[in-house]
Amino acid sequence: MAPEDEAFRDELRAWLDEHLPPFLEKETAEDGADDSRIAADATLRRRAAWQRELNRGGWAAIHWPVEYGGRAATAMQRVISSEVMAEYRTPGIFNTNGIWQIGPMIITWGTDEQKARWLPSILEAHEHWCQGFSEPDAGNDLANLRTMAIRDGDDYVVNGQKIWISTAHIAKWGLFLLRTDPTAIERGAKHEGITAFIVDMDTPGIECRPIRDMTGEEMFNEVYFTDARIPVDCRLGGEGEGWMVAMGTLGFERVGIAGQISVLGADLRAMIGAARTLNPDALADPGIGDRIAQAFTEIELARLLSLRALSRIIKGERPWPEVQFAKIEWAYLAQSLADLAVDLLGPAGVLAKGGPDTVDRGKWTRLYSFQRYSTIGGGSTEVQKNIIADRAIKLPGQARLT
């Protein structure tokens, strides 16, 4: 680790030692976000308060340029931040999409007016943001999207449907990909004619329909556009440049896998600690012991793989195919750790959120169901394997997964 990275880590730890304990001790409800859509959600209020605390210390958006409230942190420092935050078990932040993906895209592609208009609300957790890419026929094949935005004077008129849009029902703003060239798919140029827009979710003609998932929560949404009018000045980048905007956004998401792997390591240590208190006999089971050892080993291997990808980024090289391998490994580990958690906790592992005797507010029971998504979200495992087969291993076409 470079000296500047060690200094970065030490400064973050010192800041957390000073600010995290008093934050956890005080009531944070009065410091919540302004939007009435999240007023009743204590978790979101807590996340908003924590993001504001981070922002006061300059830790909310470390990878943003200094002039926009960040620290211009390197890819390695971003991983260090994720590792330290996981080590300290800090609360989550309010605007994850906004901070890590949408904000950087506005900085890269936005006009000065757009940056001044939207970046402060993201950074200060005043308004929630979502990201609207997937459609019923454009999930794994994002370039197949068909929600149309047709220019009409100073507006674009939008019609179509998005699906699996996280937190769209509580978001004030969203970054959406829309098709501005209706002929592109038919003429075999589906990556063309896609444009990025910042969308006000309160716009007439936009309807969000939450989807209740198997955990009983409503995080994902269907979003319908019916003659919704989006002003031209809400376009991010030029018309037809949406695919480049999207690839930059997904690039930030994929690099973030290194941080997610750090969280898995912290989760494993936490679930073992809970088992020592609630179900210590499980730790004496040789089969459970083998699974714990294997999990620790695979998490470390995945961490090293993600660091190898980061080293390529630092050198200005394409992180290929390490990022795809790391994403597959993270998805597998997320699901296997969720299975291990409920086995470690024994009878306590089936107590769901809301009950008086739940462990860690029902986190482990929830993850057992929720982590089924990990092999789909951010690029499904099957598609990632096909990409590796085609471009890295160069297998013949008939060997691809279907």
Closest CA to 40 of 170, 214, 176: 170
pTM of the model: 0.84
Which CATH entry fits the domain spanning 129-240: 2.40.110.10, 3.40.50.300, 1.10.287.3510, 3.40.1190.10? 2.40.110.10
Supply the pLDDT for residue 307. Answer: 79
pLDDT tens-digit readout, 154-196: 999 999 999 999 999 999 999 999 999 999 988 988 889 999 9
Q: Where are the domains of the chain?
A: 3-94, 129-240, 256-399
pLDDT tens-digit readout, 81-92: 988 998 899 999
Look at the block and give the residue holding tokens 């929720």.
Answer: 370
Active-site residue identified among 53, 253, 322, 329: 253
Distance separating alpha carbons of residues 159 and 148, to the nearest angstrom? 5
Residue 30's pLDDT band, with cuts at 50, 70 and 90, is very low
Q: Residue 55 pLDDT more than 50?
A: yes
CA 273 to mean position of chain CA atoms: 27
Please tell me the CATH code under which domain 3-94 is placed.
Answer: 1.10.540
Phi, psi of 25 (to 5 degrees): -85, -25
Strand partners, 173: 129, 200
Average pLDDT over residues 309-330: 77
Examine the residue annotation and report whether 30 is marked as an active-site residue of this protein. Answer: no
According to DSSP, residue 282 is labeled G
pLDDT tens-digit readout, 342-376: 999 998 888 887 777 888 888 888 899 889 888 88
Torsion of CA 367, 369, 374, 380, to 10 degrees: 180
DSSP calls for 374-387: GGTTTS-HHHHHHH
256-399, CATH topology level: Butyryl-CoA Dehydrogenase, subunit A; domain 3 (1.20.140)
Q: Look at 252 and 139; give whichever has higher pLDDT.
A: 139
Supply the pLDDT for residue 359. Answer: 87
Mean pLDDT of the chain: 88
- What the block records as the tokens of 303 is 């961490």
